């Protein structure tokens, strides 16, 4: 059955007549059933660590829409919490972390191989999903890429320009490299356990890769991704990996070959036509409808969806958004997008 799953076929390099579909953040606040389950859990972190409820919200968009893949419901900041950082969420504002700004702060973290007790509920969620997902639906596990996770660990929160992380890497590159190295090792541990629990595909989200330029992009986005993929491929050679260096622009070109990724996800700052010419020759691509279409809907959504499908029809393609679906999106527009892809 695994060989019949459309996403696995696309990731293996097969050009399909209709691209498989899933959405980043597809289990989320745009769905009323998600909001009800989150209220049952009490708060966001409690939902992440409640295996039964986390599995439930992962399954909700599959039941509603029949996506070709489901992605584990979790958060990229669970790993730094497992490494010893304090993590909490402020309603209406987002995550907060205790910061790493000195060697003493870093030295208080635990070794990478010590994360599994804290993350055990996440692995249990994966096991539940493998039992309960439809046989044709691929299960995607994920983690944040080291640069993106490090930006939160240094600043203690999300920032518009990742300024605190840039300042630390420039002023104390040795300390910043230690943070990256610990995150590389921790991510390998975390994702390897997700695969052992049943994840069929892994995705690495480098949401803030676009703020890295030149040699910094190579050192802090490309190289950590390459190290993680190399280690995972050694342990789990049959598990495909999707890399998403969001905002990479021209650096999307060659990223798959440089890192060993089976697929490169692209954001909507580049056109599908450009991706077809410059990125897709190296293998599978994922993307890249602007998330705003899930809010505005209408004929623009349909025509843009069909344009992307056509532009990327010459090679392996997984249809997705250029970033995660937003809480103000309409569930009806999601169905409209799916219908447009499958009738294109």
Rounded Cα gap, residues 325 and 71, in angstroms: 13
Rounded Cα gap, residues 74 and 76, in angstroms: 7
Q: How far from 73 is each of 49, 87, 308, CA to CA, in Å?
A: 10, 17, 27
CA proximity to 54, closest of 78, 21, 80 = 78
Range(s) of the domain holding residue 36: 2-343
Name the domain count of the chain.
1
User: Is 152 designated active site?
Assistant: yes
User: Is 75 designated active site?
Assistant: yes
Q: What is the pTM of this model?
A: 0.97
Tens of pLDDT along 57-85? 999 999 999 999 999 999 999 999 999 99
The rounded average pLDDT for each run of 10 residues, N- to C-terminus, in the chain (344 residues) is 83 97 97 97 96 98 98 98 96 92 98 98 98 97 98 97 98 98 98 98 98 98 98 98 98 98 98 98 98 98 98 98 97 98 92
Which residue among 15, 35, 38, 157 is the active-site one? 38
Kindly give the pairing relationship between strand 201-206 and strand 241-245: parallel
User: Is 35 designated active site?
Assistant: no
User: Is 306 designated active site?
Assistant: no
* Residue at token pair 């010419």: 277
Which residue among 9, 25, 227, 246 is the active-site one? 25
- CATH number of the domain enclosing 101: 3.20.20.210
């Amino acid at each position: 059955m695994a060989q019949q799953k459309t996403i696995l076929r696309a990731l293996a390099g097969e050009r399909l007549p209709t691209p498989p579909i899933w959405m980043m953040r597809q289990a989320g606040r745009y769905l009323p059933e998600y909001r009800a389950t989150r209220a049952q859990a009490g708060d966001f972190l409690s939902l992440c660590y409640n295996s039964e409820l986390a599995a439930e919200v992962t399954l909700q968009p599959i039941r509603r829409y029949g996506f070709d893949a489901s992605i584990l419901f979790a958060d990229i900041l669970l790993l730094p919490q497992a490494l010893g950082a304090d993590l909490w969420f402020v309603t209406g504002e987002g995550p907060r972390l205790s910061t790493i700004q000195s060697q003493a702060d870093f030295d208080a973290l635990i070794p990478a191989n010590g994360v599994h007790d804290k993350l055990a509920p996440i692995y249990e969620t994966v096991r539940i999903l493998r039992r309960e997902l439809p046989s044709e639906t691929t299960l995607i596990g994920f983690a944040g890429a080291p640069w993106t996770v490090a930006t939160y660990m240094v600043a203690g929160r999300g920032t518009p320009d990742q300024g605190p992380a840039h300042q630390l890497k420039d002023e104390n590159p040795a300390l910043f490299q230690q943070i990256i190295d610990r995150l590389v090792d921790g991510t390998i541990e975390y994702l390897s356990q997700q695969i052992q629990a049943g994840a069929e595909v892994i995705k690495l989200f480098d949401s803030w890769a676009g703020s890295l330029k030149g040699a910094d992009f190579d050192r802090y986005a490309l190289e950590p991704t390459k190290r993680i993929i190399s280690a995972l491929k050694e342990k789990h050679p049959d598990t495909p990996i999707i890399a998403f260096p969001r905002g990479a622009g021209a650096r999307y070109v060659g990223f798959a070959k440089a890192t060993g990724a089976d697929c490169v996800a692209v954001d909507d700052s580049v056109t599908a036509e450009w991706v077809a010419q410059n990125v897709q020759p190296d293998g599978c691509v994922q993307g890249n409808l602007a998330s705003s279409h899930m809010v505005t809907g209408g004929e623009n959504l349909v025509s843009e969806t069909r344009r992307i499908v056509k532009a990327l029809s010459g090679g392996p393609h997984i249809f997705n958004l250029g970033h995660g679906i937003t809480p103000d999106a309409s569930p009806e527009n999601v169905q409209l997008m799916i219908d447009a892809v499958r009738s294109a």
